A and B are shown apart, each in its own frame.
Chain A
Amino acid sequence: MTIPALRIEGLHKSFGDLAVLRGIDMVVEEHEVVCLIGASGSGKSTLLRCINLLEPIDAGRIFIKDDEITADGVHLDRIRRRIGIVFQAFNLFPHMSVLDNVTLAPRKALRLPREQAEADATELLARFGLADKRNEVPDRLSGGQQQRVAIVRALAMKPDLLLLDEVTSALDPELVAEVLNVIRELAVGGMTMVIATHEMSFARDIADRVCFLDAGTIIEEGPPAQVLRDPTEARTRQFLQRIIEAGRL
């Protein structure tokens, strides 16, 4: 049996009195694509931020392959290099060119020489149709282009696991497809991904497994065909009903 890429056991997380994650157990195999769905406020973003150790957790354990990343005394920066995250709002560095956005972490965190970092970055940018944008500043790109740069920036660290948090929610509808295509390409390439999304048809297309998050626990999971078409839990059915009414499935 192979070791899973990600394993979460009994994860709890509160903000003050608000218990956001209430016992999350989750396993993601290597090369697997898992979509997190659930109502707004159900804790999807918080879960992703906990996996990347951007939020300190209250209880539970998280493993990347063999390593417990929630153990005492782990080197946070070194772990984060192995886990990429892409945010809804892109969060590109506005004072740097596209190329510098992509090469900053390889140069400073991995200590790659500039020429090598730039060669790698140029190749990645070209792969995602951004070759001619390498010297632009982020403000001069479209939202879709910015989000693709953000994905390239995460990929430049060659992460074992990529977390995507509603990466198309801030985009104009006509720009959504170009970003989803990039993610699809990554899935085909075997990238292990956990994707929080409201795009149900995309989840159905791309996910190996869908997890439905409700009030801080995963109450249902399975292949997209089953969870999205024929859910067993009443809460999941209600949620999907609302999505269908909103015309998003």
Chain B
Amino acid sequence: MTPGAPPIVRRRRSTVAWRSTAVALVSTTVVLGGLAWVVVNAPNWPEVQQDFLDGPIFWESLPDLIAAFWTNIRLFLIAEALVLPFGLLLAIMRGLPGPVFVPIRGLATAYVDIFRAVPGIVVIYVLGFGVPGLQIPGVPNEAFFWAVVALTLIYSAYVSEVYRAGIESVHPSQDAAARSLGLSRLQSMRHVILPQAIRRVTPPLLNDFIGLQKDTVLVSFIGVVEIFRTAQIDQAANFNFTPVIAVALVFIVVTIPLARFTDWLVARDKRRAAAGGAR
């Protein structure tokens, strides 16, 4: 091979890459442009544009919305900090072996089944309106408190399933090796199984957290003044939906970095698995 060969190969490859990028760009532009054309030429477009995309109202409502978004962030962070250990506890309870643990396993299974079946908004309603309605002395009444409880209960069910998949993906021979050395069941779980399991399920866990982050708006229905509730108030005051569009933009801005981070983790694990061989 002549010394000049490699650059030619590279140029050819980059030509192919450039061409496919160009095709992608053009086709995307055509499709989006076409859609935009249809929307903009719809008979009622001017009214809708005014109702949903009003520049001055957008800028006026944005500071309020961002201030209210702190409530969503607090909801998200507190619920997440509770979901992580509670979901793990449920997963471990469901994995307990033998007939002795049938009641515990059954309870955990029923819990997960129920909270995955019932729509989240219903859980939020029942807890947010029902429990304070009982007026049990000493039990808090604040909507924020019950919002956190509801989100935690709902998402723990999902997250426990993610953990469980991770735990089951670790080969039983790992547990056998740990137990054969005299480690207890708990020690084997803690030091051998879980570290491997959690590493494998980090991407799906992050996915569930993107879901939790979005679902913090659901608690607006029991009166927590968070971003969506604030947008509704602004909307009613202005007879204009632009604040709701602003909510969408805020969520897009905070979620995309998390989504890219998840992708990056998945790609990194794939690279590692490829480098580490089949094991």
Query: A203 to B134, alpha carbons, bound, how many Å?
Result: 76
Residues of A near B179 (CB, < 8 A) are 54, 76-77, 80
Shortest distance between the CB of A15 and any CB in chain B (Å): 14
Binds B, one of A84-92, A128-136, A225-233: A84-92
Binds A, one of B66-74, B182-190, B252-260: B182-190
B191 at interface by CB-CB < 8 Å = yes
Residues of B near A139 (CB, < 8 A) are 276-277, 279
Given known A-B contacts A104-B191, A108-B191, A139-B279, A93 and B181 have beta carbons under 8 A apart:
no
Cross-chain contact A91 with B176 (CB below 8 angstroms): yes
Query: A177 to B255, alpha carbons, bound, how many Å?
Result: 56
Binds A, one of B27-35, B100-108, B148-156, B192-200: B192-200
Query: A110 to B174, alpha carbons, bound, how many Å?
Result: 20
Cross-chain contact A105 with B277 (CB below 8 angstroms): no
A6 at interface by CB-CB < 8 Å = no
**Which of A77, A80, A91 touches B174 (beta carbons < 8 Å)?**
A91
Cross-chain contact B182 with A77 (CB below 8 angstroms): yes
Residues of A near B178 (CB, < 8 A) are 93, 104-105
Given known A-B contacts A105-B182, A139-B277, A139-B279, A91 and B177 have beta carbons under 8 A apart:
yes
Q: Mark A67-78, 1 if CB is under 8 A from B, else 0.
A: 000000000111
Shortest distance between the CB of B13 and any CB in chain A (Å): 32
Given known A-B contacts A91-B173, A104-B191, A139-B277, A157 and B182 have beta carbons under 8 A apart:
yes
Cross-chain contact A80 with B180 (CB below 8 angstroms): yes
Q: How many residues of A contact B (CB 8 A)?
A: 27
Q: Mark A125-159, 1 if CB is under 8 A from B, else 0.
A: 00000000000000100000000000001100100
Q: How many residues of B contact A (CB 8 A)?
A: 20
Shortest distance between the CB of A1 and any CB in chain B (Å): 29
Residues of B near A93 (CB, < 8 A) are 174, 177-178, 192
Q: Mark B86-122, 1 if CB is under 8 A from A, else 0.
A: 0000000000000000000000000000000000000
Cross-chain contact A109 with B187 (CB below 8 angstroms): yes
Cross-chain contact B183 with A77 (CB below 8 angstroms): yes
Cross-chain contact B176 with A104 (CB below 8 angstroms): no
Shortest distance between the CB of A152 and any CB in chain B (Å): 12
Query: A139 to B275, alpha carbons, bound, how many Å?
Result: 10
Closest to A93 in B: B192
Residues of B near A94 (CB, < 8 A) are 196, 276, 279
Residues of B near A109 (CB, < 8 A) are 181-184, 187
Shortest distance between the CB of B236 and any CB in chain A (Å): 54
Query: A91 to B184, alpha carbons, bound, how many Å?
Result: 17
- Which B residues are within 8 Å of any A CB, using their own CB? 173-174, 176-184, 187, 191-192, 195-196, 199, 276-277, 279
Question: Could you show 12 A-B contacts with beta carbons less than 8 Å apart?
Answer: A54-B180, A76-B179, A80-B180, A84-B181, A91-B174, A93-B177, A93-B178, A94-B279, A95-B199, A104-B192, A105-B178, A154-B181
Apart from the given pairs A109-B182, A139-B276, A157-B181, 7 other A-B contacts in the complex at a CB distance below 8 Å: A49-B176, A54-B176, A54-B179, A54-B180, A76-B179, A81-B182, A108-B191
